[in-house]
Amino acid sequence: MKSARDRSSNSSRAPDGAKPTVTIRGFEIFKGYLDSAAQSELVQVVRGVAQKAPLFSPVTRFGKPMSVQMTSAGRLGWYSDTSGYSYRDRHPSGAPWPNLPEEVSEIWTDVTGIDRTPDCCLINFYRGNARMGLHQDKDEGDFSWPVVSISLGDEALFRMGGIERSDKTESIWLSSGDIVVLTGEARLAFHGVDRIKQGSSQLLAQGGRLNLTLRIVDL
């Protein structure tokens, strides 16, 4: 099987698609991709999803409560409990996840050039001291598809490493409207959010940060 890096056909950008501002070891950063009107529109879209599929607080596979709250839209939602990490076709309430919003799949197509709708839009909400430890995205069935991550609200210190946990890392501040695409050597690279800068954005009335992660799951 070809590696994620070799199978660039699954992550080639459309000729007229957006281009990253900078690429750091496969992490393609699109600074200021969404203007403030588009950010507000996306917040409304997320509110609509959260009304149907309320945010919940999962525990890690070690039983420790996560500091982020989360929910999902799309065919599958990401889920975590003491039996491990998985994709499920229902919210913990038993209801199916809301449909993947059109606005979200348009962004996916523009930054990846891939003519296929993601299966999952995971929504993470960071408030106060919420963070996301260094991890790899590896619960999907096919790592040749890129992962797209959209930032809204307060700034986040985003740490990027390599495919080994011990690899050296580099951090950047992600602002509201920035997008990161994990492709090539970054697809299975460790990454995480050390902290958010509370009050650095006025986008969310109650403060905090939303991150939308789009993935083709292919299980």
- Of 158, 176, 178, 201, the one binding ligand SIN by CB under 6 A: 158
Binding of residue 69 to ligand SIN (CB under 6 A): no
In angstroms, the CA 124 to CA 72 distance is 9
Contact flags string 126-145 toward Mn ion, x per CB under 5 A = -----------x--------
The first and second tokens of residue 165, run together, are: 């946990």
Determine the size of the site formed for Mn ion (CB under 5 A): 1
| Bridge partners for 135 per DSSP | 191
Options 149, 176, 183, 201; binder of ligand SIN; rule CB under 6 A: 149
Most distant CA pair in the chain, distance? 47
Q: Which residue has the CB atom at the shortest distance from ligand SIN?
A: 211
Specify whether the CB–CB gap between 164 and 191 falls below 8 A.
no
Assess 27 for contact with ligand SIN (CB under 6 A): no
Residue 71 interacts with ligand SIN (CB under 6 A): yes or no: no
Q: Convert 27-54 to b/e letters by CB count within 10 Å (16 or more is b).
A: bbbbeebbeeeebeebbebbeebbeebe
Q: Check binding of 201 to ligand SIN (CB under 6 A).
A: no
Pick between residue 144 and residue 211 the one whose CB is nearest to ligand SIN: 211
User: Strand pairing partners for 126?
Assistant: 209
Q: Least separation, in Å, of the C-beta of 209 and ligand SIN?
A: 7
